[in-house]
Amino acid sequence: MPAINTQPSAIESVFLSACQLAEKHYRQQQLIYIHCQDKQQAYAIDELLWQFEPTAFVPHNLKGEGPVTGSPVEIGFDKLGANKSRHLLINLADQVPSFAVNFPHIIDFVANDDALKQIARARYREYKQLGIELTTTEFTGV
């Protein structure tokens, strides 16, 4: 009988980690912006925030939806960034958004996949060129 791989893919692991970190920082009463590569990814993160932890509730909305004042967690994919000032940027896009310099804290990921590692290295160089100070931490879950 063939083995069935139930491990999440590298990108699924990154998405799950992003949701876990969004929940953690929301509980610390921080305002968060999750920047996605595109509309499809933004919708996937929106859904995952509802489902990733059955007992967790992370108030969130897609940019342009929800309350006028915005939810604690906003998800978007355009080049303009968050609708209001936020404490934390969680970047899931392949590139560093130009508005990243407006955030006091940024979380970015290096997925366990060779192709995605190359993309992450390019982002690392982009952050450095923008003058953003980087520290690295191995993430093993919240």
- The pTM of this model reads 0.90
111 against 21, higher pLDDT: 21
Q: Look at residue 18 and tell me whether its pLDDT is greater than 90.
A: yes
- Residue 1 reports pLDDT greater than 70: no
Domain map of the chain by residue range?
Answer: 10-129
Residue 8 has pLDDT above 70, yes or no: no
Class of domain 10-129: alpha beta
- CB-based contacts of 122-130 (< 8 A; 24+ apart in sequence): 122/95, 123/91, 123/94, 123/95, 123/96, 126/95, 126/96, 127/96, 127/100, 130/96, 130/100, 130/101
